[in-house]
Structure 1
Amino acid sequence: MGYEFDFAAMLQAWPQFLAGAWLTVQLSLPATVVGFMLGTLLAIGRRGRHAWLRSACGAYVEVVRNTPLLVQVFLVFFGLASLGWKVPAFAAALAALVLNVAAYSSEIMRAGMDAIHKGQIEAAECLGLTRRQIYWHVILRPAMEKVYPALTSQFVLLMLATSITSQISVEELTAAAARVQSETFRPFEAYILVAVAYLLLSLLMRAGLWLFGQAVFTRRRKLGAGAAR
């Protein structure tokens, strides 16, 4: 039994795919930035002096990392509605993505912070740096530089995970493909185009994050140039 591909209908539906791809970007970028900031705060909390804070941050991370993202999206969307807070689907999806990526970013950043030698922190204290200065110059920036490749992969996975939000009617890329295939009855072609679109978005996101890393982490850039020579 043969199958004849017909992408003509897909070309006519390109505005729907473009709108879906743009909404995917609108979900991914804010969730990446806010989720990373929240994850960094969680990592600091897990390394803090107060036992209750360490326990609370650890409990949050374990709960999020050991439950499916789809369940978390449903909890935010339907749970808040049950409590009387009617949250738009986009806002609920964005909140769930932020809460999810924060837990994973927290563990990545905590690993980077734990890799900072205690002697460097002690040397900074001897130089009279404040606790805030030590955290920023001696712990956070070097830790982020160490784990930046892992963070990059996690953020790309987050972008791909936005497809789950189609389950609460967020009109992102996967939802656009579902609508197009229901109108054209060409599901194979529709999802092939979506797979290609996600691949292109992943490559663009990796390239953007690589450029950001080159701009922020000058030492990494110099080391890379030295290795190239």
Structure 2
Amino acid sequence: MNYHFQWSPVWKAVPDLLPGMLMTLQLTILSFVLAAIIAFILTWGKRSKTFLIRSICSSWIEVARNTPCLFQIYMAYFGLGALGLSVDSYVAVLGAITFNTAGYLAEVIRGGLDGLDQRQYRAGAALGFNRLQTFRTIILPQLIPLIIPGAGNQLIWSLLNTSLGMVVGLQELTGATYTAQSLTFRSFEFFIVTALAYYVLAKMLLLLMHGAARFYRLQRSH
């Protein structure tokens, strides 16, 4: 191998990559929070006695989990555009990742709920709680530790899926890296640094998530 690494163009381009990194973090956190809210609704809806609600929620989960996130981004950006509903690349990527992550998180939550003793709902009713109160005070504190590993995986999946925004012109971390390396032709160096950046971001997000879960458990124990 006669390849000679040249790192100086990468260090000079770091100020141009930072906005892309911040956009990646923003997309990841916002899409995950929105997806978590929707996932609880989907989980509830999939257990609904109403056929229409159950069908809509089940269809969302099935489509989200069995089609590529890249295809979902294309549908949000190009598909809606063909129907006359133009959205910018940021909104398209945010919507697609939220859609995708919500489907997976709904199954994570379902698995956690299936791992709990369902008789606790009857116990809550015996204490005078309605189903929402039973879920909030009895089920949720037990559910969170069960779903943290799966939810953590989905958080990282959301982070990595943001890189697909490059295909619709979004200047997140991968898009910004591609633009920067195209000016210097030092692709190997740029993408090594970007891969390390994704690794650090993933570890940081996991630590924050586990820290938040630990804080929640401590608050509930007092």
Partner-residue secondary structure (3-state), 1:217: helix
Superposed displacement of residue 14, structure 1 = 0.6
Q: Decide whether aligned partners of structure 1 residues 220 and 186 sit closer, same or farther in structure 2, where only a CA change above 3 A counts.
A: farther
Matches of 2:5 and 2:220, distance apart in 1: 47
Deviations 1:30-80 (A, max 9, x none): 101001110111011112222332222111111111100000000001122
Deviations 1:101-122 (A, max 9, x none): 0000000001111122122111
Q: Decide whether aligned partners of structure 1 residues 141 and 221 sit closer, same or farther in structure 2, where only a CA change above 3 A counts.
A: closer
Is 1:69–2:66 an aligned residue pair? no
Q: Look up the equivalent residue of 1:108 and give its one-letter code.
A: V
Superposed displacement of residue 15, structure 1 = 1.1
Matches of 2:221 and 2:190, distance apart in 1: 40
Partner of 2:94: 94
Residue range with higher mean Cα deviation, 176-185 or 44-53: 44-53
Partner of 2:18: 18
Partner of 2:208: 208
TM-score (normalised: structure 2): 0.95
Deviations 1:5-46 (A, max 9, x none): 000011110112111101101111110100111011101111
2:45–2:57 CA contact under 8 A, matched in 1: yes
Partner of 1:227: none
1:44–1:110 CA contact under 8 A, matched in 2: no
TM-score (normalised: structure 1): 0.92
Matches of 2:221 and 2:21, distance apart in 1: 31
Q: What is the CA RMSD across the aligned residues, in angstroms?
A: 1.7
Where structure 2 has 5 or more consecutive residues not aligned to the other structure, the ranges are none
Partner-residue secondary structure (3-state), 2:171: coil
Partner-residue secondary structure (3-state), 2:34: helix
1:113–1:140 CA contact under 8 A, matched in 2: no
Q: Which runs of 4+ in 1 moved over 6 A?
A: 219-222
2:177–2:190 CA contact under 8 A, matched in 1: yes
Q: Look up the equivalent residue of 2:204 and give its one-letter code.
A: L
Matches of 1:48 and 1:144, distance apart in 2: 22
Partner of 2:171: 171
Identity of aligned residues (%): 32
Superposed displacement of residue 220, structure 1 = 9.5
Residue range with higher mean Cα deviation, 203-212 or 53-62: 53-62
Partner of 1:157: 157
Matches of 1:42 and 1:178, distance apart in 2: 37
Q: Look up the equivalent residue of 1:188 and give its one-letter code.
A: F
Partner of 1:52: 52
Q: Look up the equivalent residue of 1:66 and give its one-letter code.
A: N
Partner of 2:138: 138
Partner-residue secondary structure (3-state), 2:170: coil
Partner of 1:183: 183
Partner of 1:31: 31
Matches of 1:18 and 1:34, distance apart in 2: 24
Superposed displacement of residue 221, structure 1 = 8.8
